[in-house]
Copies of this chain bind each other. A is one copy, B any other.
Amino acid sequence: MRTRGSSEVHLTYAEAGVDEPREQEALKGMLDLLQSTYSLHKGIGSPAFPIGHFSNVLDMGAGLGLVLTTDGVGTKLVLAQMLHKYDTVGIDCVANNVNDLLCLGAEPVAMLDYIAIDTIDEKALVDVARGLRAGAELAHISIPGGEIAQVADMLSPTRGASTIDLVGSAIGIVSLSGEREDLPPLVDGKKVAPGDVLIGLLSSGLHSNGYSFARKVLLNQAGLRLDQYVSELGRTLGEELLQPTFIYVDPVLGVLKKRLAVHGIVNVSGGGLLSLGRLPTDCGFLIKEIPPAPAVFRLIQRHGSIPDADMFAAFNMGIGFCLVCAKDAAKPVIHEIASHGYRSIEMGKIVDEPRGKIVIEPLGLVGSGEVFTPA
């Protein structure tokens, strides 16, 4: 059980709507109950791991591992509603799910969508489907089913356009034992070791995280309008904020299918680069290169007078996805990624430090758990 809420709003910004310790406590109780279900299904389809990483894996027999995940779009949907523009959030929905599947090395196969809506708005629904279709095309998946729930009583009153919640649940496939040459090999992160290289793939913008925080700073505090042209963005604020999340299927499967020595895969989502700490490895990360933060992050930081430490714990800051690979695989990995039209950089290396400790040397930040602090 993961939480999107905690990923959406920064820790030190409890007033923005998240009460982190209480959430963690509830989460613990839920996890205990849900983990007790792992032994309830016998035979084909038993969970292969005790605890979920980014996704879990079921053993389907014959070396086939089935990876399952579910994720929604979160409060990026509030912006879609404010702008009456629903044709891209479907891409985010697909991206959030398939990017999580990739973290176990899985080839995404299919996704189901769930849409909660207050009142039926044909145009909004068809536009959502347009985005889902576009995302499915980029991820090479089918969307063989879904559900629309008209539950006005449960959703917030309309802001002049339909209130919509959009959630996906997706499956992917891996070779569990390594014997299936038709499938990418399972990457569970346990091979990550000191000396490995950290490669970061550039993001398209905010992706789907930090939106409650961004909205609070840019709209409520700074008083910017979504239809306002912002010269440093080169477009309106609304256009920037609805920029769809990158779908990393092509470059990552390209790398995996070439059997390059990838040891760990991380979707940079809630908590930004702190997501690296989700790798189940007793190592730290030393980041020596980081690209300049894209304009949208600088805009948020300036208007909110937000320290670097808080920005990096709330946003991806330009890096949307990471691969950890063996030292000599770094160049071919970056080359393969580029061949699919995605940019990546060698950010640093894996070091012999306590689990999940992340040093961003150029900015003097040290992170672990859910916070960065100045070194």
Contact = CB atoms under 8 A, between A and B. Distances in A.
A260 interface: no
Contact of A126 (B29, B46, B61): B29
B40 A141 contact: yes
A212 interface: yes
A165 interface: yes
Complex copy number for this chain: 2
A205 to B, nearest CB: 20
Contacts of A56: 144-145
Most B CB contacts (10 A, CB to CB) among A37, A125, A157 go to A37
B60 A60 contact: yes
Interface in A23-41: 23, 25-27, 29-30, 33-34, 36-41
A267 to B, nearest CB: 13
Given A3-B149, A4-B147, A47 B142 contact: yes
A19 B121 CA distance: 10
Contacts of A27: 125, 148
A169 interface: yes
B154 A69 contact: no
A74 B153 CA distance: 10
Most B CB contacts (10 A, CB to CB) among A34, A42, A173 go to A34
A179 interface: no
Place the interface of chain A in its size category.
35 or more
A303 B147 CA distance: 31
A320 interface: no
A27 to B, nearest CB: 7
Contacts of A121: 26
A33 B120 contact: no
Contacts of A36: 133
A251 interface: no
A275 interface: no
A128 B33 CA distance: 10
A77 interface: yes
Contacts of A122: 22, 25-26, 29
A375 to B, nearest CB: 31
A70 B116 contact: no
A71 interface: yes
A110 B55 CA distance: 13
A42 B77 CA distance: 31
B183 A30 contact: no
B150 A153 contact: no
Nearest to A168: B169
Given A125-B29, A183-B44, A110 B167 contact: no
Interface string A262-301: 0000000000000000000000000000000000000000
- Give 3 nearest A-B pairs by CB, closest first: A5-B150, A169-B169, A45-B109
